[in-house]
Structure 1
């Protein structure tokens, strides 16, 4: 808990002024989410920590997004989650609503039985809504998946496949006070019908001021090849700055 407090002080020390969104003079956005849950009973203690760091750069015809997440949890002394994901993607805009995208994503996850996983690919996206207070986007493309998985504790599965990747993303800002956002993927293998990945991350934030919000985050992940999934509900703080 001390680490969370120190991180909060560090970020609040850096953030002195915020801008509501990208505009002609605002090209950068940074945000940090720290949330978690603790349950202590006479039978033991369970806790879960969810940390996310994002950095975005947006110009007229291109944007670059760098995201990192780490989930760590224990229950009654046993490890339940040690899941890390980092992704770098870019968008090349042909029109304000239509763009090409490219992605490189690395994952390792104790709860999903992923030792190593590298996803790279590209595709197309279209924004049905794209305004200050409403964003709704659909995208689709092809990913190359090179994975090292644990089918059982003693059985490794090292393989590669191509996947179709479909995403639905939205963000709604209600009177600059409440922000609801979500990004969900379905990634099916072209080679194996039962091999699919589902990822969904949603959050509901209540703004305290332009750079600080109380946030509830819901995350669902399924790696069907390893027959594993997790559902995480946490609450905490989001710090962000446009500059």
Structure 2
């Protein structure tokens, strides 16, 4: 029983990745699954975090599809049932390789953030401040249209639309080909109300153990000012990689 339990935890904490872009590779697929179980005399809790990514790049166009689902309970009560999926694209310019256009469509529903349904669509510009093999620093800005169905702090339902400015800062630094520090953070302010904003931040530290095995930790923070809700998630696990 104990061995079966440990095997299950190892599967939940293992991340499997395939492919990396090079001269011949045009596709990238990634599946990640992690989880935690805690049980004491005072109660129990568990959390599952599953993510999927598919990426295609051809010449000057890159397309990405992301999906993530977090489900958890604490003392038999639902704490998380959060789903997010995004389809985006980048269009590059050979004459200005560090400047490119982006567009996206993003759908969210989140129990922890009190979002019944949310659809974000928009476009903008991005610029690579640093664009080296082991060092990348990128900023982007654009306009999003937000159509949301949310629950306010007083438990009343609100359906509304607004235009948002979306600013993103991301970086990735590789040290001695062993340690990788990466982060992507957004702040999305409503153009109608100053007190209406969304903050998202995804941060990770990866330690390369072998050519195919790494140890990864992740910290995620989300805040929705309109619902006065926020969540934080810290996860860790093993990452298996294969390139072809």
Instruction: Quote the offset at 1:22 in angstroms.
Output: 2.1
User: CA 1:211 to 1:28, structure 2 compared with 1: closer, same or farther past 3 Å?
Assistant: farther
Q: What residue is the counterpart of 2:239 in the other structure?
A: 238
Q: What residue is the counterpart of 1:82 in the other structure?
A: 81
Q: What residue is the counterpart of 1:117 in the other structure?
A: 118
Instruction: Quote the offset at 1:74 in angstroms.
Output: 1.1
Instruction: Quote the offset at 1:209 in angstroms.
Output: 3.6
Q: In 2, Cα distance between the equivalents of 1:7 and 1:57?
A: 27
Task: String of CA shifts for 1:91-141, please: whole Å, max 9, x gaps.
Answer: 001222110000000000000000000000000000111222111110000
Q: In 2, Cα distance between the equivalents of 1:209 and 1:31?
A: 19
Q: In 2, Cα distance between the equivalents of 1:8 and 1:216?
A: 11
Q: Quick check: 1:30–1:240 contact (8 Å CA) kept in 2?
A: no
Q: What residue is the counterpart of 1:97 in the other structure?
A: 98
Q: Quick check: 2:153–2:228 contact (8 Å CA) kept in 1?
A: no
User: CA 1:242 to 1:27, structure 2 compared with 1: closer, same or farther past 3 Å?
Assistant: farther
Instruction: Quote the offset at 1:8 in angstroms.
Output: 8.2
Structure 1 gaps of 5+ residues are none
Q: What residue is the counterpart of 2:201 in the other structure?
A: 200
Q: What residue is the counterpart of 1:69 in the other structure?
A: 68
Q: What residue is the counterpart of 2:158 in the other structure?
A: 157
- Secondary structure of the corresponding residue to residue 97 of structure 1: strand
Q: In 2, Cα distance between the equivalents of 1:3 and 1:66?
A: 28
Q: In 1, Cα distance between the equivalents of 2:48 and 2:10?
A: 13
More deviation, 120-129/201-210: 201-210
Q: In 1, Cα distance between the equivalents of 2:190 and 2:41?
A: 45
Instruction: Quote the offset at 1:35 in angstroms.
Output: 2.3
Q: Quick check: 2:12–2:34 contact (8 Å CA) kept in 1?
A: no
User: CA 1:175 to 1:31, structure 2 compared with 1: closer, same or farther past 3 Å?
Assistant: farther
Q: In 2, Cα distance between the equivalents of 1:24 and 1:93?
A: 17
Which of 1 and 2 has higher RCO (CA within 8 Å, sep 6+)? 1
Instruction: Quote the offset at 1:211 in angstroms.
Output: 4.0
Q: What residue is the counterpart of 1:22 in the other structure?
A: 21
Q: Quick check: 1:33–1:239 contact (8 Å CA) kept in 2?
A: no
Query: Normalised by the size of structure 2, how large is the TM-score?
Result: 0.88
Task: String of CA shifts for 1:34-86, please: whole Å, max 9, x gaps.
Answer: 22333322101122222221122223311111111111111111111110100
State the superposition RMSD in angstroms.
2.3
User: CA 1:169 to 1:101, structure 2 compared with 1: closer, same or farther past 3 Å?
Assistant: same
- Secondary structure of the corresponding residue to residue 26 of structure 1: coil
Q: What residue is the counterpart of 2:31 in the other structure?
A: 32
More deviation, 158-167/208-217: 208-217
Q: What residue is the counterpart of 1:214 in the other structure?
A: 215
Q: Quick check: 1:70–1:84 contact (8 Å CA) kept in 2?
A: yes
Q: In 1, Cα distance between the equivalents of 2:103 and 2:236?
A: 31
- Secondary structure of the corresponding residue to residue 238 of structure 2: strand
